[in-house]
């Protein structure tokens, strides 16, 4: 992998040799891309990029080295080396500055509420622990569909003021252990029933009007959008409704970190799992300003502020679990990265419905951070920023995103050497699923909702990478490379290959509006001058390098190898790609 260069050449005949002369030798092929075009290489033996010399310069490229292996604990050591060849003329080999649009806000406002992010961070940690318990529960409980339906019984729709009993599963121990509560029906909507624990604190208690408003949002927006995108849930109790249980017992779980949860334990008969309510149930925390739960205080404003997004997210899990386990008769659920990415997608599309937006509008910072949009969309982009390496309050994590991963199925108790905390794949997975829907959804009879429902229903025997490939008919290597490039290309490179962007959001505009340190993707900046960079890349992520020169530059070769110059392990499914930026 050497660039166009001058070598000594000697010609000999019959023992007589002419003097050696200097002569240029060039590689067989060069990177010849239009602006916004990608070249993808999958064979580690071919991980070499050859750039011709330029007397004009002004060109720039973004280069990615990634791994497509769906094993997030695996990493590969990489060394990227740049070698200088023939120099056409004297030039200044300085990286081109990154041209940015004028920031619509240009302040730290969107991402400065660290206390709110810390609270949501703690909830996501608790949710990931629950997903791990969920998988263990499904391995343990292999119950037939007939048994599940026989255990369920039709129940009359209760009236406001009725007393009902529920079992809150123990998230800190075995999911089939529980605390039984007595609850009162507060609101009965067309799609949901809101009940409150009689032992809830009375200080800052949610009023009937506040619960009615939450019920209206669920009926008019959340239920309609979530079922359109992911399909109808099961109805074990035959009441055509989801039950939202608000209980102080939830505040006591997971050190007070869980804001609300659902569990597949409710889909099994009590003979198999004693905590089961044999119904579709969402369990929510409640205001507890005096911290009577003994974990952490919860204010009414905090509970109400999270409630719409939280219900949109968790109701998606009810649909996912019940469709796979009850309706499709599968004894396993999709991979965690698929589940959580789709649940974050639900937050986005419910927000679209409430705020009058829609997919495919190339929305920017004014929508993401303006008015009510900031309440709904802010956390979408905060989670994706964490994948890029945002590490509040300290700034930028230097090993992100290459040591983060799309496939966030870590052992939450032993995440290893990941640069990102394990749960921040939520934003990565949302952006991956959003790009898939943007690219392939418009060709479906009913648009992107056909794809989002098919992700869950079309191949119930598959999950993860296999499921995605079967769904869209494109190899995951290509999908992953396009997604990896999207984070730099989208909105930045005019006229780029549409496969390298998303049509719903302008990522360049969104992140250009935030001056908070570390929220953007920041590739290594290198000129067309000799360099060598070594980085470890986790499966499901990419290391980025930006190569540029403001003026004339020499011929140049970029080689990617592993330790001691060996080829990268093919078992890691490595890939090298390059996109011309300008």
The whole-angstrom separation of Cα 429 and Cα 470 is 18
pLDDT of residue 514: 86
The pLDDT of residue 81: 98
Q: Which whole number is the average pLDDT over 177-199?
A: 98
Query: Per-residue pLDDT averaged across 443-472, rounded?
Result: 95
Res. 127 pLDDT band, cuts 50 70 90: confident
Cβ atoms of 59 and 579 within 8 Å: the answer is: no
Q: Cα 131–132–138 angle (5° rounding)?
A: 85
Cis peptide, bond prior to residue 20, ω within 30 of zero: no
pLDDT at 516: 80
Query: In the block, which residue shows the tokens 């996109």?
Result: 579
Decide if pLDDT at 132 tops 60: yes
Return the half-sphere exposure (C-beta side, CA atoms, 13 A cut-off) of residue 185. 16
Band of pLDDT at residue 27, cut at 50, 70 and 90? very high
Place of tokens 């099994």: 268
pLDDT in the model for residue 515: 80
Residue 542 token pair? 């990419």
- The pLDDT assigned to 329 comes to 84
Distance separating alpha carbons of residues 471 and 452, to the nearest angstrom: 10
**pLDDT-based confidence at 147, cuts 50/70/90?**
low
pLDDT at 328: 87
The pLDDT of residue 497: 97
338 or 87, higher pLDDT:
338
For the cut 60, the answer to whether the pLDDT of residue 205 exceeds it is yes
> For 307-332, what is the mean pLDDT?
91
Q: Give the pLDDT band (50/70/90) at residue 104.
A: very low
**Cis peptide bond N-terminal to 361, omega within 30:** no
Question: What is the token pair recorded at 251?
Answer: 């505040």
Do 541 and 66 form a contact (C-beta atoms < 8 A)? yes
Between 38 and 271, residue with greater pLDDT: 38
Per-residue pLDDT, 83 = 97
Q: Could you tell me how many helices (H) and strands (E) the chain has, helices first? A: 14, 21
Q: Which pLDDT score is estimated for 349? A: 98
- CB 168, CB 245: distance < 8 Å: yes
Total-model pTM: 0.92
State the pLDDT at residue 365.
Answer: 93
Residues paired with residue 396 on neighbouring β-strands, in sequence order = 390
Q: How far is CA 435 from CA 313, 322, 480, in A?
A: 19, 26, 10
Q: Higher pLDDT residue, 34 or 129?
A: 34
Q: Which two tokens stand for residue 460?
A: 């119930």
Burial of 262 (0-12, 13-18, 19+ CB in 10 A): buried
Residue of 247 and 135 predicted with greater confidence:
247
Say if residue 449's pLDDT is above 90: yes
Confidence of residue 103 (pLDDT cuts 50, 70, 90): very low
Average pLDDT (551-577) is 96
Two tokens, residue 70: 């769906």
For residues 182, 185, 190 and 192, what is the CA-based torsion angle, rounded to 10 degrees?
-40
The single-letter DSSP state of residue 111 is G
545-555 burial string, b = 16+ CB within 10 Å, else e?
A: bbbbbbbbbbb
DSSP 513: T
| pLDDT of res. 101 | 44
Average pLDDT, the chain: 90
> Maximum distance among all alpha carbons in the chain?
109
Cβ-contact 469, 9 below 8 angstroms: no
Q: pLDDT category, 224, cuts 50, 70, 90? A: very high
What SS3 state is found at 302?
Answer: helix
Region 61-81: what's the mean pLDDT?
A: 96
**CA dist 362 → 101, 366, 447, 506 (Å):** 15, 11, 16, 5
Residues in the chain, total: 582
Q: What's the rounded Cα separation, in Å, for the pair 561 and 578?
A: 16
Helix (H, G, I), strand (E, B) or coil at 511: helix
Q: What percent of the chain has pLDDT over 90?
A: 74
**524-526 and 21-25 strand pairing:** unpaired
Going from the C-alpha of 346 to that of each of 303, 342, 376, 433, 511, the distances in angstroms are 19, 6, 11, 11, 21
Q: How far is 560 from 112, CA to CA, in rounded Å? A: 38
Is the pLDDT at 424 greater than 80? The verdict is no
- Statement: residue 522 has pLDDT above 90: yes
- The kind and range of the H/E element at 284 are strand 281-284
Cα–Cα distance between 323 and 332 in angstroms, integer? 11
Structure tokens at 361: 């509008």
Of 7, 11, 31, the residue nearest 555 (C-alpha): 31
Q: Any idea which of 43-47, 309-313, 392-396, 475-479 has the lowest mean pLDDT?
A: 392-396
Q: Which residue has the tokens 């597949």?
A: 264
Cβ atoms within 10 Å of 324's Cβ, excluding its own: 23
Instruction: Centre a 10 Å sphere on the Cβ of residue 472 and count the other Cβ atoms it contains.
Output: 17
Label residue 100 by pLDDT band (50, 70, 90).
very low
**What does the alpha-carbon distance between residue 62 and residue 547 come to, in Å, rounded to a whole number?**
6
Rounded Cα distance between 99 and 248, Å, is 51
Of the ranges 190-194, 225-229, 431-435, 516-520, which one carries the lowest mean pLDDT score?
516-520
User: Phi and psi (nearest 5°) for 441?
Assistant: -65, -45
Give the pLDDT confidence score for residue 95 in this predicted structure: 61
Task: Mention every residue, 6+ apart, whose C-beta is less than 8 A from residue 455.
Answer: 334, 338, 342, 433, 467, 468, 471
Kindly indicate the confidence band of residue 113, based on its pLDDT and cuts at 50, 70 and 90.
low
Any residues with CB less than 8 A from the CB of 173 and at least 6 apart, and which? none
- For residues 242 and 189, what is the distance between their CA atoms, to the nearest angstrom? 10
Dihedrals phi, psi of 167, to nearest 5 degrees: -115, 115
Distance CA 44, CA 566 (A): 10
The alpha carbon torsion through 528, 531, 537, 540 (nearest 10 deg) reads 10
Least confident of 36-45, 148-157, 307-316, 550-559: 148-157
Quickly state the pLDDT bin for 105 (edges 50, 70, 90).
Answer: very low
């Amino acid at each position: 992998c050497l660039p166009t260069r001058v070598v000594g050449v000697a010609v000999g005949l019959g023992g007589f040799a002419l003097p050696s002369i200097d002569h240029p030798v060039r590689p067989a092929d060069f990177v010849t891309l239009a602006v916004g075009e990608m070249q993808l290489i999958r064979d580690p033996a071919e991980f070499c990029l050859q750039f011709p010399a330029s007397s004009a310069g002004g060109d720039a490229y973004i280069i990615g080295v990634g791994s497509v292996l769906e094993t997030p604990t695996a990493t590969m050591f990489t060394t990227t080396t740049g070698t200088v060849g023939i120099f056409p003329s004297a030039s200044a080999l300085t990286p081109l500055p990154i041209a940015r649009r004028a920031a619509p806000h240009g302040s730290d406002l969107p991402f400065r509420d660290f206390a709110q992010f810390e609270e949501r961070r703690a909830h996501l940690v608790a949710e990931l622990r629950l997903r791990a318990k969920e998988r263990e529960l499904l391995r343990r409980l292999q119950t037939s569909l007939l048994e599940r339906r026989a255990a369920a019984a039709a129940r009359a729709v209760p009236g406001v003021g009725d007393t009902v009993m529920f079992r809150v599963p123990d998230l800190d121990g075995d999911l089939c252990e529980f605390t039984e509560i007595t609850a009162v029906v507060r609101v009965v909507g067309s799609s949901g029933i809101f009940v409150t624990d009689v032992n809830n604190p009375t200080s800052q208690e949610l009023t009937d009007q506040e619960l009615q408003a939450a019920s209206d949002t669920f009926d008019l927006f959340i239920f309609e959008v979530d079922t359109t995108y992911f399909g109808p849930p099961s109805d074990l109790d035959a009441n055509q409704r989801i039950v939202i249980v608000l209980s102080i017992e939830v505040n006591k779980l997971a050190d007070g970190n869980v804001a609300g949860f659902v569990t597949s334990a409710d889909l099994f008969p009590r003979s198999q799992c004693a905590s089961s309510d044999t119904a579709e149930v969402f369990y929510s925390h409640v205001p507890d300003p005096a911290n009577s739960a003994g974990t952490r205080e919860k204010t009414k404003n905090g509970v109400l502020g999270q409630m719409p997004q939280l219900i949109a997210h968790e109701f998606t899990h009810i649909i996912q679990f019940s469709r796979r386990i009850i309706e499709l008769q599968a004894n396993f659920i999709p991979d965690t990265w698929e589940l959580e990415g789709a649940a974050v997608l639900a937050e986005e599309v419910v927000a679209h419905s409430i705020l009058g937006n829609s997919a495919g509008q190339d929305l920017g910072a004014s929508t993401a951070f303006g008015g009510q949009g900031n309440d709904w969309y802010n956390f979408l982009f905060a989670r994706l920023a964490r994948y890029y390496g945002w590490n509040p309050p300290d700034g930028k994590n230097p090993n992100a995103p290459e040591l983060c991963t799309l496939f966030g199925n870590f052992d939450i108790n032993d995440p290893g050497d990941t640069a990102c905390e394990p749960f921040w794949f939520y934003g990565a997975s949302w952006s991956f699923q959003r790009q898939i829907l943007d690219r392939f959804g418009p060709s479906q009879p009913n648009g992107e909702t056909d794809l989002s429902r098919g992700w869950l229903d079309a191949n119930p025997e598959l999950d993860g990478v296999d499921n995605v490939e079967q769904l869209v008919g494109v190899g995951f290597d290509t999908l992953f490379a396009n997604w990896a490039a999207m984070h730099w290309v989208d909105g930045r490179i005019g006229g780029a290959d549409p496969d390298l962007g998303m049509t719903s959001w302008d990522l360049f505009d969104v992140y250009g509006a935030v001056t908070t340190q570390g929220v953007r993707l920041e590739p290594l900046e290198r000129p067309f001058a000799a360099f060598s960079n070594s980085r470890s890349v986790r499966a499901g992520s990419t290391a980025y390098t930006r190569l540029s020169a403001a003026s004339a530059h020499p011929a140049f070769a970029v080689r990617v190898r592993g330790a001691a110059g060996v080829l990268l392990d093919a078992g890691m499914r490595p890939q090298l790609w390059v996109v011309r930026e300008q």
